[in-house]
Amino acid sequence: MAENKPTRIVILGGGFAGIAAARALGKQTRHDPSVEVHLVSTENYFVFQPLLPAVVACGLEPSHIINPVRMLCPHVHVHCATVLSIDLENETVCLEGQDARRLFCLPYDHLILGLGLAMDLSRMPGMSEHSLPIKTLGDAFHLRNHVLSKLEQADLEDDEQVRRSALTFVAVGGGFSGVETIAEINDMVKSVTKYYPRARACGARVILVHSRDRILNELGEKLARFAERKMRDRGVEIILGARVKEATPAGVVLSNGDMIQTDTVICSIGNAPHPLIAKSSLPQERGRILVDDCLRVKDHANVWALGDNALVPDVSSGGYCAPTAQYAMRQGKVCAGNVLATIRNQPVKPFSFGGLGQLAVVGHRCGVAHVFGINLSGILAWILWRSVYLMKLPGLRCKIRVGIDWTLDIFFPKDIAMIKVDRTKQLQRAHFREGETIIRQGEIGDKFYIIESGSVEVLLEDSEGATQLLATLCAGDSFGEIALLKDTKRTATVRCIGAVDVVMFARKDFQQLAGSFRAFRDRVMVDSDDRERSSLASTSTNEAS
Amino acid sequence: MAENKPTRIVILGGGFAGIAAARALGKQTRHDPSVEVHLVSTENYFVFQPLLPAVVACGLEPSHIINPVRMLCPHVHVHCATVLSIDLENETVCLEGQDARRLFCLPYDHLILGLGLAMDLSRMPGMSEHSLPIKTLGDAFHLRNHVLSKLEQADLEDDEQVRRSALTFVAVGGGFSGVETIAEINDMVKSVTKYYPRARACGARVILVHSRDRILNELGEKLARFAERKMRDRGVEIILGARVKEATPAGVVLSNGDMIQTDTVICSIGNAPHPLIAKSSLPQERGRILVDDCLRVKDHANVWALGDNALVPDVSSGGYCAPTAQYAMRQGKVCAGNVLATIRNQPVKPFSFGGLGQLAVVGHRCGVAHVFGINLSGILAWILWRSVYLMKLPGLRCKIRVGIDWTLDIFFPKDIAMIKVDRTKQLQRAHFREGETIIRQGEIGDKFYIIESGSVEVLLEDSEGATQLLATLCAGDSFGEIALLKDTKRTATVRCIGAVDVVMFARKDFQQLAGSFRAFRDRVMVDSDDRERSSLASTSTNEAS
């Protein structure tokens, strides 16, 4: 039976690289029962990242630039889950799905890593708390609503200083995404202020802060200067050669000593290695995995890496491939071919691609482009930008929808609906019936509980299924801390005696609270130590008996 | 100067009633500088509620059924804010905008109340914690993502029982919104399971629980039975004559003793009076404001009420108007006319409208309708349903977008993107610089703070601006509880000595935590009492000196 088990290829990551590999593998293996392709993606959709700035500025609907992974990748087993760990020795990845209490193990024969990069802002105090990233669709959507909420606030506000802070928008980082985002926000804010009479009277400030001496370093000097000039013409203040030193609720402090008072700091810098890659034993340089020119990880016969989390040799230039979508997509195809070739004992092919060029939009109907060695700017570059992206968007439905959005924006003003979809509750509450189990011994610990009303019994189950009562807890008591503090599985079962209402903290919040709040920590720890002692005591009694 | 002040009409509520009144008033007063129209809406957009079930089922994009209030109501002062209180004696409403620390007072000459109804599930233990409402766009969007997340979970899950609970969808309440929502979910789940092979193998259960002996009470017996039969044919289980007694994370318990194991309970029942209306001195019956047939509140010459929060006499039937959109919109127009007539000393007109009929969709291309006294069912009723709603949608852009969505759904499969836009962080953190003020004496208290690192000084300012140091706090200490516990303004200013990092709780969470968690409460209270004593002591010393 073991011989008949299909060879399993597991792809981690649902970005440009992972999706391209999955699509190619799905296509080439759909009639081959000896190969099984699995894709693990944290979202169940693929985001066409280059259009995120347009989503921020209400130019495109969030749902129009995404594609469900299951539709994009037929013949592939799709798992919408977060990768918790990669076990290279046992050739297994460990996944967490929609329920944090349950883990799933997925063994692999070949592993393809397309996890992308993470973000690390820890070198700039306050930036992770007070700046808004633009990496995911959720970020773009949140930022869109945030900008609109600031316009609403400014329109209601009487205090001049509060209103000025609300109407100041700062982007940190002058790369493609920072430039496009702030250019789009600048256009949007200025075109919609007619609906906000009191905000218009005050006027908005839009500022781009960049650490080097010119924006868009990836483009040539001439184009970058053109982009800079155009943006300044449209009213964007550009501060060059300055870094953010610190961010607070009041604004940002720059390395040149200036303080900008603002409620909105958009951050497109701080790329960092993916935490799973960083803590793995894979060969890496500057946080990116070292691969050969066939995309195979050095010294690992069945592990492959591509996209932003890999350092792929660029045969044409002798350096390394740029971390952009056009490289990632082509790497995905080549990698798919090489993995299959390896399985089928055929020769692998090296990755070679010279890049097509770069495109950016710097304002309404104004772009810059460097394609096939030619520089373009203005409306021509803008038309090229729209055409290329419309062509590259995967799926006919996306193309139609984006095409319609772009047509409607000629005839209609920008949308200003601040779509409140988050149902954020900081504290979660739950109600349980008599006899229901709140925590089950052996499960992963995901929450800390405080009893609001009712009472529970804490039970220890031994390997033979016999249970022993450790404690009875009632309103005002708390439980569930041991597994969270020690990162172990649940050490006991907690069952309701009557109906019980509880308040819950998620794992991360609990850990942070325990780490920072003395009163909380002291009290919880004392309870916890008592309980653990009694748990150990009863285990030993059991063993003795 | 006082004579030249324009007469101010303030409308509370951005639903069908409030928007209709605002649009009519804006139109009729745009050339009249002697009248000023203000609209207060918690969202900055108007939602076309009847299409929410289609949003839940991925049939329409959330952004396509909404319209920015500022665009819908030109010539009206729009305030995107929550109404905190209504002061009938001083003819003022108090608003909270995007920043919870700041309040705004809006005096009125005429007040129009269109606040709608609230929800109260307190009679069913666990329902408010474990059921999903479908009142707002956020609810619909959340429910859509929740249903898709359950499909994703079921596809990953190995445990049979966990998978069955994930694939069981229960709606409570057999009115229009409950029926349409569960019918749409039934269609969606069954049409998309082809993308979820392991979920399909298990099969989904879709259940409607209704307390009476037939669904859609507003329709006649014959149509309601047709709707019921059609839904059963399509696989919806309908449980009649049963109420929900209790809900827990494991499922719901019905009044007939049955327990349904499910992760998804959709709730369309539990209408309750709006809290502001309930606690006001306005004449009311069953939580709805009593008005005369001209929509003026009894015994209040300048207060008007309409829509769901008003009990409007129905001249044609002798009873009261139904709480539906068609009545609300017409009431808005009549109310606008009557308010202006009152200001201009002209006679007011009574509201009279017989209702046009009722429409509902009970499955793919299958509807029921009772219009102009005629019963329709099947595809004809469905076509009528789509035509009427397309016609009634405000704004050309909405019509085009919904029309396109409805056209695309003929050619493309349903979307299954589980759009994660919430960036839920339970605990918020903040970073402050040296000398920055965290809390300002006299502001509204919106947060409780725990110091993670750094130290702060607590300062008391007297009326002459002199400050006095009350305490110095450092890592592990907490502050900000007094204003939250006693619902007063901030009693002192808290300023950073060096850079400071804090963890924060929002007001509601803090109050709940203080109410339920003994360890937390005990500790915070002791600190708080000490501090307040010292604050009072220093105030009296000041006064003495």
Q: What is the ipTM of this complex?
A: 0.88
Task: Classify domain A428-544 at the CATH class level.
Answer: mainly beta
Cβ neighbours of B150 in A, within 8 Å: 98
Contact A361, A379 (CB under 8 A): no
Most A CBs within 10 Å, among B76, B98, B259, B439, to test the A interface: B98
Contacts of B158 in chain A (CB under 8 A): 104
- pTM for this entry: 0.89
From the list A196, A412, A436, which residue is nearest B397 (CB)? A412
Cα distances from A513 to residues A507, A517, A528, B476, in angstroms, run 10, 6, 15, 10
Residues carrying CATH 2.60.120.10, chain B: 428-544
Question: Which CATH code, of 2.40.160.20, 3.30.450.20, 3.10.110.10, 3.50.50.60, is assigned to B2-42+81-117+273-355?
Answer: 3.50.50.60
CA distances from residue B36 to A135, B33, B306, B336 in whole angstroms, order as listed: 44, 7, 20, 13
Of B113, B80, B110, B116, nearest to B98 by C-alpha is B80
- Of A49-53, A105-109, B74-78, B488-492, the range with the lowest mean pLDDT is B488-492
Q: What is the DSSP letter of A291?
A: B
Adjacency order of strands within the sheet including B303-305 = B77-80, B35-41, B7-12, B110-113, B303-305
Nearest-Cα residue of chain B relative to residue A405: B401
Which residues of chain B are in CATH 3.50.50.60 domains?
Answer: 2-42+81-117+273-355
Q: In this structure, how many other beta carbons lie within 10 angstroms of the beta carbon of residue B475?
A: 16
**Mean pLDDT by groups of 10 residues along chain B of 545 residues:** 80 97 97 97 94 93 92 95 95 91 92 95 88 91 93 93 96 96 95 90 94 92 94 97 93 94 95 93 94 96 97 89 94 98 96 89 91 91 94 90 89 80 62 91 88 93 88 90 84 93 83 72 68 60 40
Q: How far is CA A90 from CA A79, A87, A108, B436, B484, in A?
A: 20, 6, 9, 52, 53
Question: Confidence class of residue A1 from pLDDT cuts 50, 70 and 90?
Answer: very low
Smallest CA–CA distance from B448 into chain A, residue: A517
* Chain A, nearest residue to B506 by Cα: A426
Q: Where are the beta strands (DSSP E) in B249-329?
A: 251-254, 259-261, 264-267, 271-272, 284-285, 288-290, 303-305, 310-311
Select the more confidently predicted residue: B498 or A532: B498
Per CATH, the number for B127-268+358-411 is 3.50.50.100
Q: List, for residues A463-498, the tens digit of each pLDDT value.
A: 888 889 999 999 888 899 888 888 788 999 999 999
Instruction: Give chain B positions within 8 Å (CB) of A503.
Output: 512-513, 516-517
Which of A45, A431, A477 shows the shortest C-beta gap to B248?
A431
Alpha-carbon gap, residue A148 to A152, rounded angstroms? 6
**Percentage of chain A with pLDDT > 70?**
93
pLDDT at A542: 43
Q: Which residue has the tokens 């883990």?
A: A103
Q: Please tell me the predicted confidence (pLDDT) of residue B201.
A: 86
Q: How far is A76 from chain B (nearest CA, A)?
A: 10
Asked if A413 and B80 come within 8 Å (Cβ–Cβ), the reply is: no
CATH 3.50.50.100 range(s) for chain A read 127-269+358-411
Average pLDDT, chain A: 90
Of the partner residues A130, A416, A524, the one whose CB lies closest to the CB of residue B68: A416
Q: Does the beta-carbon distance from A162 to B524 stay under 8 Å?
A: no
Average pLDDT value for residue range A47-54: 94
Please report the number of interchain residue pairs, chain A to chain B, with beta-carbon separation below 8 angstroms.
294
Q: What is the pLDDT of residue B545?
A: 36
C-beta separation of B29 from B76 below 8 A: no
pLDDT band for A523, please (50, 70, 90 cuts): low
Domain ranges in chain B with CATH number 3.50.50.100: 127-268+358-411
Q: Which fold has domain A127-269+358-411?
A: FAD/NAD(P)-binding domain (3.50.50)
The dihedrals phi and psi of A16, each to the nearest 5 degrees, come to -55, -45
Taking residues A116-134, report their average pLDDT: 90
Nearest residue in A to B68, CA atom: A417
SS3 A481: helix
Give CA–CA dist B275/B115, Å, rounded: 10
Residues 6+ apart with CB under 8 A from B5: none
Kindly list the residues from chain A whose CB atom is less than 8 angstroms away from the CB atom of residue B45: 417-419
Residue B107: Cβ within 10 Å count? 13
Check CB contact under 8 Å for A148 and B44. Answer: yes
